[in-house]
Amino acid sequence: MAAATVSAGPRITVVSGGSPAGLRQWPAGLLLLLWGANLGAVAALGVARLPVDLQLPGGLATWAGRMTGLLAEVLVLGMVLLAARIPWLEKGVGQDRLLRWHRRLAPTALVALVAHPLLLALGYGRGLGGWWPALLSLGSTTLDAVAGTALFLVAALTSVRFVRRRLPYEGWHLLHLMTYAAVLLAFAHQLSAGSTVLQGALVRGWWTAQLVLVLTAATVFRAGLPVLRSARHGLRVTGVRRESRDVVTVTVAGRDLGRLTARGGQFLVWRFVDTRHWWRAHPFSLSAAPTGKQLRLTAREIGDGTRALARLRPGTRVLVEGPYGVLTAAARTRDRVLLIGAGLGIAPIRALLEDLPPYVDAVVVNRASTPVDAVHQGELNALADSRPATTVHLVTGSRSAADDPAGPLGAWQLRALVPDLATRDVYLCGPPGLTAQLLSTLRQLGVPAGQIHAESFSL
């Protein structure tokens, strides 16, 4: 069907809230069950240790310090597991949700980590009078713990939103990987200094086993599997095309790419092996449905790493992690869909449209500031012309006035564009703030949670 254009004045969209839906729930349930059992084991250790510590001067503070140390380790291991990119977890829960859980655990883990030495010093010093000398003594005799804590604090501080925005992605990513070294240092510290709590072969074996399993999973799925997959498929750059003044499309070819099981709507973490890129890895969405021989990504130039994409040469070797994401046709529950892409969020939406069966009644909304900024609009129009059940709308306007229901993609505009909105599956991808606003608007318009499938660019 013919494409439509909707231009708007200086005002834009909605409110906030909402959450992704349409995912298989048993992986999340199993993960929570295992993590809850681990917390229960820590609580049991605490109950068993409490009567003993209460017999000592400063015993309550000492006990609390020991327990916060164990709690911090359990929380950090949980965070590592959530970010380990385990395929069955990612496919069942979705990486967007896993990483959101990862971020939500971080403040509690940080509080427990800082409270651990402070409470121990309070207990060993028998009150505030001896607190500072006891803290200095702890620091001088547990250098592994001091180093581990410092690495955790660096990772935490560089993940604060306003700090992270000022760091290049690859720099932030490298600093964040120091968490693995911090986990090993913390583990060594707990096996040596924590022997008063981790008593018995069974307890120490359990503590060691969980660390080995989590770090093994992270190593295998974040390093080993991507290397093996990349070697199997022999990926290399075949073409680079500039879409606009700051958007670049890169085409990659390889062998037997059907075994990669990538689908339209997903993303991969890409590493281009040349002198400019080999040490950088970036998450980019597929911007066309993958084939057995070719993958395509589209990226906006927002830093040194992404700006260098335009200078990639054909033949450059490519390493990939993934595919990740659950924004695929497999999540569809009905034969009518609304696909909304904001900014570069239209790239996975365009790939998803190509992956849908042609009989699906699809309404596509490409949200951009101006027609010039609308990425892949020509390709969307061509797809709509070849798919009789597909309609494409280009919605333009300012990004300001996000609380205006009459603005672009506000409640009034969505209802006018798609009167049967509540009867459709809705796929949504874009910046985190706009995604949250649209999720709230969709709920206000009566779209059931099970019909909303959303991911945002927040890796």
Answer yes or no: do 51 and 167 share one domain: yes
Question: Average pLDDT for residues 289-301, to the nearest whole number?
Answer: 91
36 vs 59: CA distance, rounded Å: 27
202 vs 208: CA distance, rounded Å: 10
The position carrying tokens 């904001």 is 342
Q: Which residue has the higher pLDDT, 405 or 108?
A: 108
Q: What percent of the chain is modeled with pLDDT above 90?
A: 27
Answer yes or no: do 259 and 173 share one domain: no
Burial 60-76 (b: 16+ CB within 10 A, else e): ebbbbbbbbbbbbbbbb
- Residue 272's contacts (CB-CB under 8 Å, 6 or more residues apart) are 237, 278, 280, 309, 312, 316, 317, 318
Answer yes or no: do 315 and 337 share one domain: no
CATH number of the domain encompassing residue 416: 3.40.50.80
Answer yes or no: do 298 and 363 share one domain: no
Answer yes or no: do 319 and 344 share one domain: no
CB atoms within 10 A of CB 220: 15
What the block records as the tokens of 61 is 């503070």
Answer yes or no: do 179 and 114 share one domain: yes
Residues 226-246: tens digit of each pLDDT: 888 888 999 999 999 998 888
pLDDT at 17 > cutoff 50: no
The answer to whether position 213 is within a domain reads: no
Give phi and psi for 402, each to the nearest 5: -65, -15
Answer yes or no: do 406 and 360 share one domain: yes
Which residues share a beta bridge with 340? 365, 428
CB atoms within 10 A of CB 282: 21
Answer whether 443's CB lies under 8 Å from 21's CB: no
Answer yes or no: do 82 and 169 share one domain: yes
Residues 337-382: tens digit of each pLDDT: 999 998 889 999 999 999 999 999 999 999 888 888 888 999 999 9
* 143 Cα distance to chain centroid: 33
Final residue of a structural domain among 324, 344, 362: 324
Residues 251-292: tens digit of each pLDDT: 999 999 988 889 999 999 888 988 766 777 888 999 999 998
| Average pLDDT taken over every residue of the chain | 80
Residues 78-92: tens digit of each pLDDT: 888 888 888 878 777
The answer to whether position 216 is within a domain reads: no
Answer yes or no: do 122 and 259 share one domain: no
Q: Which residue has the higher pLDDT, 421 or 280?
A: 421
Residue 237 burial class via C-beta count within 10 angstroms: exposed 0-12, middle 13-18, buried 19 and up: buried
Final residue of a structural domain among 324, 341, 372: 324
How many domains in the chain? Answer: 3
- Parent domain of 410: 4-18+328-456
pLDDT the model gives residue 161? 74
Answer yes or no: do 315 and 176 share one domain: no
The answer to whether position 223 is within a domain reads: no
Answer whether 260's CB lies under 8 Å from 267's CB: no
Final residue of a structural domain among 324, 350, 384: 324
The answer to whether position 217 is within a domain reads: no
Q: Pick from 343, 347, 359: which is nearest to 409 by CA?
A: 343
Burial 157-188 (b: 16+ CB within 10 A, else e): ebbeeeeeeeeebbbbbebbebbbebbebbbe
The answer to whether position 276 is within a domain reads: yes
Answer whether 337's CB lies under 8 Å from 289's CB: no
Answer yes or no: do 42 and 135 share one domain: yes
The answer to whether position 220 is within a domain reads: no
Answer yes or no: do 236 and 355 share one domain: no
The answer to whether position 205 is within a domain reads: no
Give the neighbor-by-neighbor strand order of the sheet with 390-396. Answer: 4-7, 390-396, 361-368, 336-342, 425-430, 452-456
CATH number of the domain encompassing residue 312: 2.40.30.10
> Which helix (DSSP H) or strand (DSSP E) does residue 322 occupy?
strand 317-324
The answer to whether position 370 is within a domain reads: yes
Q: Pick from 265, 270, 266, 264: which is nearest to 229 by CA?
A: 270
